[in-house]
Amino acid sequence: MRIGFIGVGAMGKPMAQNLIKAAHDVYIYDINQAVVAELASRGGLTAATPKEAASRAEIVITMLPNAAIVEDTMTADNGILAGGNPGLTIVDMSSVAPRTSLKMAALAKQRGFQYADAPVSGGVAGADAGTLTIMVGAEPDTFRQIEPVLQILGKKIYHVGPVGSGDAIKVVNNLLLGVHMAAAAEALVLGAKAGLNPEVMLEIIKESSGRSYALEAKAANFIFKGNFTPGFAIDLQYKDLELAVETGKNLGVPLPVGNLAQQIFEMSRAKGLGREDISAVIKVWEELTGVQVRTG
Ligand code: NAD
């Protein structure tokens, strides 16, 4: 199949590589020319603009940082909507708000294109291994068309409902991740200040009711080692909390815990930690209390 792939960063690059390995013709566009050249040297094809990628493809996948960039990539003069042939299917796998996908899907429909939102969970490791969890909002026919391609990228593919519903569940999931990470950070600092050994704390919490993915994924591998290379960057988690807050406002749902978690990540951004892994949020509490939760 001919696939356009736009946005080959931490996530998009390994995803595009997996499509190339599966013998698809992948037309790649990114503003970062170096990564496009690297993928071209491994069997990828290049496109000079999103419009060109769309004009060559049956399916165009986008994996971009945020909604503003997704909208621009779709609607600009050199964008996807300007270049697609009739019957094109656009699959946005970026994390954006449901209303962004609803707006883009309506524009796509006017041009005779199908549209799906298909955000992912599983991080760079999951993108690399082709084991992402993918949450799809699409018409049933569109889902059937894109499912074989998504199966190359992920292990669990869910058709959640119509356009926007993939984004909705992703927003809910990442609201929980942000809240759990912020809570894990302050809890670990409390334990360290009380004199507990970090490894003992983790071992016991993992078998107790305070356990969470944030703690299990981020304590031993990141915090205890003092390794804060993303992973999943604080700036992206902050954006995902913004998506939750924005969606809550649109729907009239108060999210006091989510808003507070966003402010905690704002504190870490103010400290210049935006590009570090989400586990680096612990540095805010470590600095305030004068303890570090490290082993070795
Ligand atoms: P990233 O910043 O590493 O990559 C984004 C890529 O988009 C970069 O290569 C950048 O050059 C490119 N780009 C930016 N503006 C562009 C434009 N106008 N046209 C073309 N390319 C452009 O981000 P990422 O970590 O790969 O995340 C991508 C999306 O996936 C985000 O929406 C993020 O929230 C989501 N996500 C990330 C993770 C993760 O663990 N990193 C996990 C799940 C979901």
Contact by Cβ (8 Å): 296, 286: no
Domains of the chain: total: 2
- Ligand 1 atom 9 nearest Cα: 9
Tell me whether residue 150 is in a domain: yes
Ligand 1 pocket test: which of 32, 38, 64, 75 has the largest number of ligand atoms within 8 Å of its C-beta?
64
Tell me whether residue 260 is in a domain: yes
The residue out of 100, 133, 162 marking a domain boundary is 162
Range of the domain at 239: 168-289
- Do 188 and 276 fall into the same domain? yes
For residue 65, report the distance from its CA to the centre of ligand 1, in Å: 4
- Do 188 and 207 fall into the same domain? yes
- Do 258 and 208 fall into the same domain? yes
- Do 155 and 172 fall into the same domain? no
Which amino acid makes up residue 145?
Q
**Helical ranges in the chain per DSSP H:** 12-21, 33-40, 50-56, 67-75, 80-83, 98-110, 123-129, 140-153, 165-193, 198-206, 213-218, 234-251, 256-270, 282-289
| Cβ atoms < 10 Å from Cβ of 220 | 16
- Do 134 and 75 fall into the same domain? yes
Q: How confident is the model at residue 95 (pLDDT cuts 50, 70, 90)?
A: very high
Inform me whether the pLDDT recorded for 106 exceeds 80. yes
* Ligand 1 shell residues, CB under 6 Å: 6-12, 29-32, 35, 63-65, 69, 73, 94-95, 120-121, 123-124, 232, 236
Tell me whether residue 220 is in a domain: yes
Instruction: Supply the pLDDT for residue 249.
Output: 95
For residue 295, report the distance from its CA to the centre of ligand 1, in Å: 32
Instruction: Supply the pLDDT for residue 29.
Output: 98
Tens digits of residue pLDDT in 8-56 = 999 999 999 999 999 999 999 999 999 999 999 999 999 999 999 999 9
User: For strand 89-92 and strand 2-6, is the pairing parallel, antiparallel, or unpaired?
Assistant: unpaired
How far is Cα 233 from Cα 272, in angstroms, rounded to an integer?
12
For residue 287, report the distance from its CA to the centre of ligand 1, in Å: 30
- Do 237 and 271 fall into the same domain? yes
The residue out of 162, 183, 216 marking a domain boundary is 162
- Do 257 and 196 fall into the same domain? yes
Inter-CA distances, 45 with 32, 74, 81, 129, 162, Å: 15, 20, 20, 22, 32
- Do 17 and 87 fall into the same domain? yes
- Residue 60 sits in a domain of what CATH number? 3.40.50.720
For residue 94, the ligand 1 atom closest to its alpha carbon is 32
- Do 158 and 20 fall into the same domain? yes
155 is catalytic: no
Choose the catalytic residue: 51, 170, 239, 283.
170
Tell me whether residue 296 is in a domain: no
Mean pLDDT of 137-148: 98
The residue out of 147, 162, 177 marking a domain boundary is 162
For residue 96, the ligand 1 atom closest to its alpha carbon is 32
| Cβ atoms < 10 Å from Cβ of 58 | 17
Instruction: Supply the pLDDT for residue 231.
Output: 83
For residue 63, report the distance from its CA to the centre of ligand 1, in Å: 6
- Do 26 and 81 fall into the same domain? yes
Ligand 1 pocket test: which of 236, 239, 275 has the largest number of ligand atoms within 8 Å of its C-beta?
236
Tell me whether residue 294 is in a domain: no
Which amino acid makes up residue 125?
A
- Do 183 and 151 fall into the same domain? no
- Ligand 1 atom 1 nearest Cα: 9
Chain mean position to CA 261? 18
For residue 7, report the distance from its CA to the centre of ligand 1, in Å: 6
Tell me whether residue 137 is in a domain: yes
Which one has a higher pLDDT value, 129 or 231?
A: 129
Tens digits of residue pLDDT in 152-174 = 999 999 999 999 999 999 999 99
- Do 150 and 211 fall into the same domain? no
How far is Cα 206 from Cα 113, in angstroms, rounded to an integer?
47
Q: How confident is the model at residue 296 (pLDDT cuts 50, 70, 90)?
A: confident
* 0.85 surpassed by pTM: yes
Angle at 140 between CA 139 and CA 146, to 5 degrees: 90
Q: How confident is the model at residue 68 (pLDDT cuts 50, 70, 90)?
A: very high
Tens digits of residue pLDDT in 231-279 = 899 999 999 999 999 999 999 999 999 999 999 999 999 999 999 999 9
